[in-house]
Amino acid sequence: MLQFFAKYKFFAVVLFILSAIIISIIYSILKPNRTLPVYEPDMVNTELVDSTVQYIRKYHKIADFSLINQNGQRITQENYKDKIYVADFFFTTCQTICPIMTGHMKEIQDRLKDDQEVLLLSHSVTPKIDDVNRLKKYAIKKGVDDTRWNLVTGDKKQIYDLARKSYLAAKSDGDGGPYDMVHTENFVLVDKKKRIRGFYDGTDPEAIDQLMEDINVLKNEGR
């Protein structure tokens, strides 16, 4: 009996390896690819969503916009056409979460330096303070790549509407002052169809790693 097993040991090992390979191939074929949710306003914390859009359950998209970047160039949705992008809200004089968020945006920029499919967009929530000159100095200081990452200023109402009606990423005190919008730490992942596909804590390194993984999911989704 032992001689019988010894004789066919090689064939048994080969058969085992082939079976494992076949099972692995079948599993990879049958396993569904991971997809990201499409976020609608009714899925998000109501504190971050303007009351006029809280009821929306489908077809939500980022509204058209026209803002000015750190180089004095007009930036619109056309600059982000057919691109995946990460958006956030900040202000240059912020000394709390903004430096951390900007540092993580820089990390994303560097990790995607050879990827022309993904861009970044940061909106100032104090546009009267953050004019083009201030944004340019901030961009230089933080290592912003002008070809990949726009820091934008412009009409305050438009920016606030974008924050609460489009990106669903800011609270409002409603006091009418220069700081009457409390921006969150959220990074917002937007797909090529201008839909929100994820929210990430821009101060958390682990969330940034998750964001990078989800960007790859979106890229594969489009292929």
CB under 8 A, 24+ apart: contacts of 52-58:
52/165, 53/165
Q: Please check if 60 is assigned to a binding site.
A: no
Burial of 64 (0-12, 13-18, 19+ CB in 10 A): exposed
Q: Please check if 123 is assigned to a binding site.
A: no
Q: Cβ distance 162 to 196 under 8 Å?
A: no
- The type of residue at 175 is D
Tell me which residue of 65, 182, 67, 200 sits closest to 125, measured CA to CA: 182
Q: Please check if 104 is assigned to a binding site.
A: no
Annotated binding site: 94, 98, 183
Binding site as annotated, residues for Cu cation: 94, 98, 183
